[in-house]
Structure 1
Amino acid sequence: MSALFFPVRTSDLSGTSKLAWRFFLPGSTSKGQNIRLECWLCWQFHVYDAIHAAAVTEKPMSRPGEEQVVIEGPAGPIEAVVTTGDRAGLVAIICHPNPVQGGTMQNKVVHTLMRTARDMGASTLRFNFRGVGRSAGEYDYGVGEVQDCLAVIAWARAELQMDQLWLMGFSFGGYVAAAAASELPAWPERLVLVAPSVEKQRFGDLKPLGGAAIVMMGEADDVVAPQSVYEAFADEADSTVVRFADTGHFFHGQLVPLKTAVEEALS
């Protein structure tokens, strides 16, 4: 009896799309009752070739209009990517999810935030926290990462002539963005937090926030408890929480609605 193979998709905790090859024996009552073999392959930086059974590693992507830069940070060089917009002085800086769980500036939600700001004419800057990619240092539980973000903001003011800041972050990066905003002399023009980590990081220490925040939250999030986010912002009168029905942490199938909501928040 021959085994039949079929591909399925899933994601790890970083939001990285992965390809799983499963097999089953014909004649069983359902696929769920079949013996399954799952071979997890990194899909963000590798492409699985089923014919030759080989994984091909790709170099970091350089898209038209993007410039890779190195910013001096408190733990050493910080790897970053900049796009230049036509609205002088307006820069969107985006913080990525937890490095321990594979979060990088290549995350798809981070890309969605970047593309939203870019399409609205802002220059954009996304970067890897310490110990991620080509950034020096090691994970610092959100403490050093806030200092990384502040260093990036200072660099943008000096090198990009930034005088208006849209600060955004996803998950762990949402906490970092809010914490960095709290240390700035002036609150960002916009602070957008997507599924911010309010439990694992000491978000309560930031309250009350020094200004308005716009929060994007999936009602089916299985990484950050939605109720904990609702409670964290219930007494923040200037902040708004936008809820997405039937949406998980990584906004699978909901990136277009997310982009639309962020556009409205930035307008």
Structure 2
Amino acid sequence: MPEVIFPGPEGRLEGRYHPQKEKDAPIAIVLHPHPQFGGTMNNKVVYNLHYAFYNMGFTVLRFNFRGVGRSQGEYDQGVGELSDAASALDYLQSMNQNSKHCWVAGFSFGAWIGMQLLMRRPEITGFVSVAPPANMYDFSFLAPCPASGLIINGLADRVAPPQDTRSLVGKLQEQKGITITHHEIEGADHFFQGAHMDTLIDNVTDYVKRRLTETTR
């Protein structure tokens, strides 16, 4: 899988780009957890999400936010990171101009950034939000949420407690015109360690495959 360097708002951004042979393959971008707490594009959840999407036929890009790895710039409280994500999506789209479907997936801090990107980019047709930190960040910008998606979290998550995720899901599920699917994984912590990682990826794969089937009928 080729390492790529592409332009971001504060200089170059470092990523991993995994193309399909089909020119009209769907595309997906995967966003990593908090840069100041060790989050990188090689985080296990991000890595596994990347390959899950690739194995479902997506052309996939994951990348390091500014100030992480070889990406230039400094941490910017989420504001600059959202701009980074938009630049990454621009890059991915420029390489895949015939793609009919565009998804965003994010883990923890990356889920928060991904949901903001969703609001700005109407071409995004689906999202996967893993362990969104609804206790730490305001998600009220999702009014209305423009696309259907999956929110998934662990019931033993102490970083982003399940009750906060349920509250977020409840608000989103009241909105008309979209369907928010919510899965909770028994015994899984914030990082889905051990066998919980397989359960996470199985849930994501089942959901995305079902959505793709529905849109191609």
TM-score by length of 2: 0.89
Larger CA deviation: 225-234 vs 78-87: 78-87
Q: Which has the larger radius of gyration?
A: 1
Deviation of 1:208 after TM superposition, in Å, equals 3.0
Q: Does 1:180 align with 2:122?
A: no
1:156 alignment partner, one of 92, 116, 130: 92
Q: Is the 8 A contact 1:142 1:201 kept in 2?
A: no
Larger CA deviation: 84-93 vs 173-182: 84-93
2:31 alignment partner, one of 88, 95, 118: 95
Counterpart in the other structure of 1:260: 202
Counterpart in the other structure of 2:64: 128
Q: Which runs of 5+ in 1 are unaligned?
A: 1-65
Deviation sequence 1:194-240 (CA, Å, 0-9, x none): 00122322212333312212011101101011110110110222211
Higher relative helix content: 2
Q: Is the 8 A contact 2:126 2:147 kept in 1?
A: no
Cα distance in 1 for residues equivalent to 2:15 and 2:189 = 28
What root-mean-square deviation, in Å, do the aligned CA atoms of Structure 1 and Structure 2 show?
1.2
Q: Give 1:175's aligned amino acid.
A: W
Counterpart in the other structure of 2:187: 246
Would you identify which runs of 4 or more consecutive aligned residues in structure 1 move more than 6 Å?
A: none
Cα distance in 2 for residues equivalent to 1:201 and 1:151 = 22
Deviation of 1:172 after TM superposition, in Å, equals 0.2
Deviation sequence 1:10-39 (CA, Å, 0-9, x none): xxxxxxxxxxxxxxxxxxxxxxxxxxxxxx
Q: Give 1:196's aligned amino acid.
A: P
Cα distance in 2 for residues equivalent to 1:208 and 1:248 = 29
More relative contact order, 1 or 2 (CA 8 Å, 6+ apart)? 2
Counterpart in the other structure of 2:9: 74
Identity percentage of aligned residues: 34
Higher relative strand content: 1
Counterpart in the other structure of 2:130: 194
**What does 1:40-119 correspond to in 2, within 5 Å?**
66-87=1-22, 88-119=24-55
Q: Which runs of 5+ in 2 are unaligned?
A: 174-178, 210-217
Larger CA deviation: 83-92 vs 224-233: 83-92
Q: Is the 8 A contact 1:198 1:204 kept in 2?
A: no
